[in-house]
């Protein structure tokens, strides 16, 4: 699972056995190629069940981290990102009352955004960067996200008991891109352009993403 989802899910993977949760990735891109990214895992809709799960030791053989372990892991990730070239203003948030975790940072260019992914991939010994990467042409104002489904994620998902796999049915992954200029066009049939033409949103179910039925790839042309 942690081979394809955001690093926040990597931190709190075992809490995903709650009945519903949301993973949100927000990218704000400026016309010069710099910007910011924030990843959020929100389990507030299932916070009662999440609190109960935190009291357990394991589920399906997966160890459930306690609050101190989660805080320690987040601190390690923050420091790694601070040491990543082109990344700055790294901030994190852990809300154990509502079970919301987020981390954000600024990137100097899209190469730094890919370096952000590479840093996380190396830390988690996953191949996140081989499944998703970005390119931005400042001259033509085209943002491209290349995405390839991870067969490893599907294999890990299928190891779960049926009742635990079913708990992902109300889980969603949302990616929001915001720009300082209007969107001319975008090529992902599932994504939608905002009414003000300065944002693109893609929302897919986590099971579809894991099973290769959803594609995060896109090409966005800006005016």
Contact (Cβ atoms closer than 8 angstroms) between residue 132 and residue 209: no
Q: How far apart are CA 146 and CA 135, in angstroms?
A: 8
Average pLDDT over residues 171-194: 96
Residue 19: the pLDDT is: 53
For 20-34, 46-60, 79-93, 133-147, which range has the lowest pLDDT when averaged over its residues?
46-60
Q: Which residue has the higher pLDDT, 223 or 4?
A: 223
Residue 61: the pLDDT is: 65
Average pLDDT score over the chain:
83
Q: How far apart are CA 44 and CA 11, in angstroms?
A: 16
Residue 130: DSSP 8-state: H
How many CA atoms, within 13 angstroms, populate the side-chain half-sphere of residue 131? 21
Share of the chain above pLDDT 90, in %: 47
Q: Does residue 47 carry a pLDDT above 80?
A: no
Nearest CA-CA partner of 143 in 36, 38, 33:
33
Q: Which residues contact 123 (CB under 8 A, 6 or more apart)?
A: 7, 76, 77, 80
For 112-116, 126-130, 151-155, 210-214, which range has the lowest pLDDT when averaged over its residues?
126-130
Q: How far apart are CA 32 and CA 222, in angstroms?
A: 12
Q: How far apart are CA 24 and CA 191, in angstroms?
A: 14
Average pLDDT over residues 183-212: 94
How big is the chain, counted in residues? Answer: 223
Longest alpha-carbon distance in the chain: 53
Residue 18: the pLDDT is: 52
> Ramachandran region of residue 173, left (φ > 0), alpha (ψ -120 to 50) or beta?
beta
Residue 129: the pLDDT is: 43
Average pLDDT over residues 186-210: 94
Residue 124: the pLDDT is: 67
Confidence of residue 1 (pLDDT cuts 50, 70, 90): very low
The 10s digit of each residue's pLDDT in 63-120 is 677 888 888 888 998 999 999 999 999 999 999 898 898 999 999 999 999 998 888 7
Q: Does residue 38 carry a pLDDT above 80?
A: yes
**Strand 22-29 vs strand 172-179: parallel, antiparallel, or unpaired?**
parallel
Contact (Cβ atoms closer than 8 angstroms) between residue 218 and residue 201: no
Residue whose token pair is 């894991």: 210
Q: Does residue 152 carry a pLDDT above 90?
A: no
Alpha carbon of residue 2 to chain centroid: 10
Q: How far apart are CA 220 and CA 197, in angstroms?
A: 12
Q: Which residue has the higher pLDDT, 128 or 212?
A: 212
Percent of the chain that is helix, strand, coil (3-state, to 5): 35, 35, 30
The 10s digit of each residue's pLDDT in 8-28 is 344 444 444 555 788 899 999
Q: Which residue has the higher pLDDT, 201 or 149?
A: 201
Q: Which residue has the higher pLDDT, 62 or 116?
A: 116
């Amino acid at each position: 699972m942690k081979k394809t989802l955001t690093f926040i899910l990597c931190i709190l993977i075992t809490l995903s056995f709650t009945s519903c949760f949301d993973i949100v990735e927000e990218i704000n891109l400026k016309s010069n190629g710099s910007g910011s990214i924030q990843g959020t895992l929100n389990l507030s809709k299932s916070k009662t069940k999440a609190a109960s799960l935190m009291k357990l030791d394991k589920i399906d053989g997966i160890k459930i981290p306690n609050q101190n372990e989660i805080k320690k892991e987040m601190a390690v990730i923050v420091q790694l990102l601070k040491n990543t070239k082109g990344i700055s203003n790294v901030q994190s948030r852990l809300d154990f009352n509502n079970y919301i975790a987020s981390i954000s940072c600024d990137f100097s260019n899209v190469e730094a955004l890919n370096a952000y992914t590479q840093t996380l991939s190396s830390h988690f010994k996953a191949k996140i960067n081989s499944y998703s990467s970005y390119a931005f042409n400042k001259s033509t104002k085209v943002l491209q996200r290349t995405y390839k489904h991870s067969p490893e994620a599907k294999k890990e998902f299928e190891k779960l008991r049926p009742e635990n796999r079913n708990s992902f049915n109300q889980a969603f992954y949302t990616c929001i891109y915001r720009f300082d200029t209007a969107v001319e066009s975008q090529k992902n049939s599932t994504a939608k352009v905002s009414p003000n033409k300065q944002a693109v949103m893609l929302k897919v179910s986590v099971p579809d993403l894991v099973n290769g039925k959803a594609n995060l790839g896109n090409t966005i042309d800006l005016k």
